[in-house]
């Protein structure tokens, strides 16, 4: 059954890849679904456009990333260019295929932005973008159509659950003390990690076929914990920073254009200093110590984005 689905999807990819002019625009749309792009969009929203919307996007992205990693481990299915050596993988991907993160995350992230704007044109633009990003993954040979359809389904279900739970969860947190808010956010991130470890343990008997890596032509590391720890650490830091900022009087992302631009530039310097600077200091081993420091590094980055940077902006006159 799966082989028939995979074979038919491979045929679609090979046909689409034969259309030379299609590759460049598909690479562009793929970029709009990458973590690198979201890492630019989220700070811009938080620091320079709408703090609340940026925080919503951040929470959706980081929890969605964790969910996607767990589901990939649970299904542990290949990508087209792993499965068939005749498929060209036009993007280096080392994680499992189902569900497509480039389909799941845009569905929930761009969907959450459209839901916040409450405009028909916003939903129309979001749906077109979600479709094109998902299509790009098939064209580039890094996802089967099954992966994309699965990603869209999970992404919209996640968005529906988030929109239903956001108000009551936020209301509960607002009634707690700062220490309890931070502690609960930390506990939630640990619960996500524990669940992920249980999913990973359940796949213990799985052995990746040698032919997958041979077809891919790159070293595969589909069970890596780095992405999960980066997401959970960032989620804790982002939440803790948001709670702390609220206790400091909040933050207004408005103001003159030059101030908004300067906030972004100063903020990004801080992000790079934390991620790159601490990367040179903290151990990067594949063990408990290395994983703990990765969690801490990304936690500090999240705290800077949502809490410390806005306070710095206010102190130096770049924000009210």
156-160 CB contacts, 8 Å cutoff, 24+ apart: 156/107, 156/108, 156/111, 158/60, 158/63, 158/64, 158/67, 158/104, 158/107, 158/108, 159/60, 159/107, 159/108, 159/111, 159/112, 159/115
Locate the domains of the chain by residue range: 2-14+28-167+175-315
The predicted structure's pLDDT at residue 2: 83
| Close Cβ partners of 256 (under 8 Å, ≥ 6 residues apart) | none
User: pTM of this prediction?
Assistant: 0.92
Residues near 222 by beta carbon (within 8 Å), at least 6 away in sequence: 72, 73, 76, 94, 95, 96, 208
Q: Are 60 and 112 in contact (CB under 8 A)?
A: yes
Residue 41 pLDDT: 84
CA 133 to chain centre: 14
The rounded distance, in Å, linking the Cα atoms of 181 and 186 is: 9
Percent of the chain with pLDDT over 70: 100
Residue 103 pLDDT: 95
Which of 56, 40, 22 is closest to 132 using CA atoms? 22
Whole-number Å distance between alpha carbons of 145 and 214: 22
CA gap 234, 303 in Å, rounded: 8
| pLDDT band, residue 92 (cuts 50/70/90) | confident
The separation between the first and the last C-alpha atoms of the chain, rounded to the nearest angstrom, is 59
What is the predicted pLDDT for the residue at 287?
82
Helix, strand, or coil here: 172? helix
Average pLDDT over residues 105-131: 93
Distance in angstroms (rounded) separating the CA atoms of residues 83 and 96: 11
pLDDT tens readout for residues 168-201? 999 999 999 999 999 999 999 999 999 999 999 9
Alpha helices of 175-287 — where are they, by DSSP H? 178-202, 210-216, 226-247, 257-272, 278-281
* CA-based nearest residue to 172, from 184, 160, 158: 184
Structure tokens at 136: 């790009």
Helix 120-139 and helix 145-174, axial crossing angle in degrees, nearest 10:
140
pLDDT digit string, tens, across residues 133-153: 999 999 999 999 999 999 999
Token pair for 119 = 């405009």
Distance in angstroms (rounded) separating the CA atoms of residues 13 and 87: 8
In this predicted model, what pLDDT tens digit does every residue of 23-82 receive, in sequence order?
999 999 999 988 888 888 888 999 999 999 999 999 999 999 999 999 999 999 999 999
């Amino acid at each position: 059954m799966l082989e028939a689905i995979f074979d038919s999807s491979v045929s679609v990819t090979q046909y689409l890849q034969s259309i030379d002019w299609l590759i460049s625009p598909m690479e562009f749309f793929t970029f709009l679904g990458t973590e690198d792009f979201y890492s630019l969009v989220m700070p811009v929203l938080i620091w320079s456009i709408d703090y609340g919307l940026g925080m919503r996007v951040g929470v959706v992205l980081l929890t969605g990333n964790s969910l996607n990693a767990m589901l990939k481990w649970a299904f542990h299915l290949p990508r087209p260019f792993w499965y068939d050596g005749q498929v060209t993988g036009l993007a280096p991907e080392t994680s499992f295929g189902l569900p497509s993160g480039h389909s799941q995350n845009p569905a929930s992230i761009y969907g959450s932005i459209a839901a916040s704007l409450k405009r028909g044109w916003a939903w129309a633009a979001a749906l077109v973008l979600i479709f094109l990003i998902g299509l790009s993954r098939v064209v580039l040979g890094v996802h089967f159509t099954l992966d994309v359809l699965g990603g869209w389904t999970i992404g919209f279900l996640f968005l529906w659950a988030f929109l239903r739970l956001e108000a009551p969860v936020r209301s509960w947190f607002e009634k707690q003390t700062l220490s309890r808010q931070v502690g609960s956010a930390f506990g939630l991130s640990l619960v996500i990690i524990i669940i992920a470890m249980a999913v990973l343990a359940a796949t213990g008997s799985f052995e990746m076929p040698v032919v997958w890596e041979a077809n891919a032509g790159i070293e595969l590391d589909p069970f890596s914990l780095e992405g999960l720890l980066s997401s959970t650490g960032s989620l804790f830091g982002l939440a803790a920073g948001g709670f702390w900022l609220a206790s400091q009087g909040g933050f207004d992302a408005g103001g003159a254009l030059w101030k908004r631009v300067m906030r972004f530039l100063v903020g990004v310097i801080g992000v790079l200093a934390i991620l790159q600077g601490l990367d040179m200091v903290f151990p990067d081993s594949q063990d408990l110590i290395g994983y703990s420091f990765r969690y801490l590094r990304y936690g500090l980055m999240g705290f800077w984005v949502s809490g410390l940077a806005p306070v710095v902006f206010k102190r130096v006159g770049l924000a009210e």
